[in-house]
Amino acid sequence: MQLLDGKILDGRKLSKKIEQNVGDEVKELKSTCGCTPGLAVVLVGQDPASAAYVNMKKKACDRVGFYSITHEMPESISQEAIEKTIVQLNNDTNVDGILIQLPLPSHIDTTKLLELVDPSKDVDGFHPYNVGRLVTNLDGFVPCTPLGVMELLKEYDIDVKGKNCVVVGASNIVGKPMAALLLNADATVEICHIFTDDLKKHTLNADIVLCGVGVINLITEDMVKDDVIIIDIGVSRTNEGKLVGDVDFENVSKKSSYITPSPGGVGPMTIAMLLSNTLKAAKINAAKLSEQKEC
């Protein structure tokens, strides 16, 4: 059995490395074409978790030298007012990436807003255009959390080809794009969700379990086989205020060959991938602008 340190998939460490690279590229972009990558975030309402995530994203933008702006809107804002802001951001040449922090209040049509974002600025990868490109294994913007998981696996030389991967959770943000990425990388993929009968039957067969549903201790030691790889995408707060994942880390880590802690695993990677996607958008926009100048 390896020492625990040897089996931790350390998202904090990798995210710092990625941030460093993004920061270096930002300097290069600024000196070669005078462009500063820009991210606009739309935050609606007072949800403390959303506000905390947006704050972390803003700080990360500052660290790498991006321009960033947050449009904070009251809970009672109308659909039309948010739509107007998105159209303005689509047309703003200082903005390369647009992120609408989810979830939105129930009176808002989230799908309509996501579809309004210019797909070339869709750094969250939630627009159906980018979803379609992901499913067909074409280049595009990929949702940050599952993209971060793939980067983490790559960093630790974990090849998913031919592996039995069980994704627990079928959300548009995490589960579905996670499954698509794994499938594109030639894994055998099962998606389990709230209506899955006998979750354990599925997870016991998995070489890799990826769980992101926000249920504390959903994955326990008896549900996984020896040497399983565990990717914990969940984040919840206990009654005592401690942040924890979906996996009983203490006991499951004894059986696993690799495991992500939560917090400190996938979370930091999500932010690193947002930076990386925004840089990608900025480079595409810079190339388009220089083409236009040449014409």
Give the range of 100-108, 134-142, 211-219, 228-236 binding ligand GUN by CB under 6 A: 100-108
Give the range of 68-76, 99-107, 186-194, 206-214 binding ligand GUN by CB under 6 A: 99-107
The yes or no reply on residue 207 touching ligand GUN (CB under 6 A) is no
Cis peptide leading into 146, omega within 30 of 0?
Answer: no
DSSP conformation letters of 141-205: ---HHHHHHHHHHHHTT---TT-EEEEE---TTTHHHHHHHHHHTT-EEEEE-TT-S-HHHHHTT
From the list 66, 55, 13, the residue with the least C-alpha distance to 279 is 66
CB nearer to ligand GUN: give 7 or 12.
12
User: Strand, coil or helix: what is 3?
Assistant: coil
The yes or no reply on residue 19 touching ligand GUN (CB under 6 A) is no
Cis peptide leading into 263, omega within 30 of 0?
Answer: yes
The yes or no reply on residue 266 touching ligand GUN (CB under 6 A) is no
Annotation says 124 is catalytic: yes
Token duo for residue 196: 């899955």
Annotation says 101 is catalytic: yes
The yes or no reply on residue 124 touching ligand GUN (CB under 6 A) is yes
Give the range of 31-39, 95-103, 247-255, 278-286 binding ligand GUN by CB under 6 A: 95-103
The yes or no reply on residue 145 touching ligand GUN (CB under 6 A) is yes
Quote the least distance from Cβ 217 to ligand GUN, whole Å: 21
The yes or no reply on residue 144 touching ligand GUN (CB under 6 A) is yes
- Measured over the CA atoms of residue 261, residue 266, residue 267 and residue 269, the dihedral's sign is positive
Alpha carbon distance 145, 163 (integer Å) = 20
CB nearer to ligand GUN: give 109 or 186.
109
- Residue 164, beta-bridge partner list: 188
Catalytic: which of 96, 121, 122, 124? 124
* Nearest position to ligand GUN, beta carbon: 102
Of positions 68, 85, 101, 203, contacts ligand GUN by CB under 6 A: 101
Q: Are 11 and 273 in contact (CB under 8 A)?
A: no
From the list 117, 176, 118, 116, the residue with the least C-alpha distance to 142 is 176
Of positions 35, 98, 100, 104, contacts ligand GUN by CB under 6 A: 100
- Chain contacts with ligand GUN (rule: CB under 6 A): 99-102, 124, 144-145, 173, 270
State the catalytic residues: 57, 101, 124
**Which residues are known binding-site members?**
169-171, 194, 235
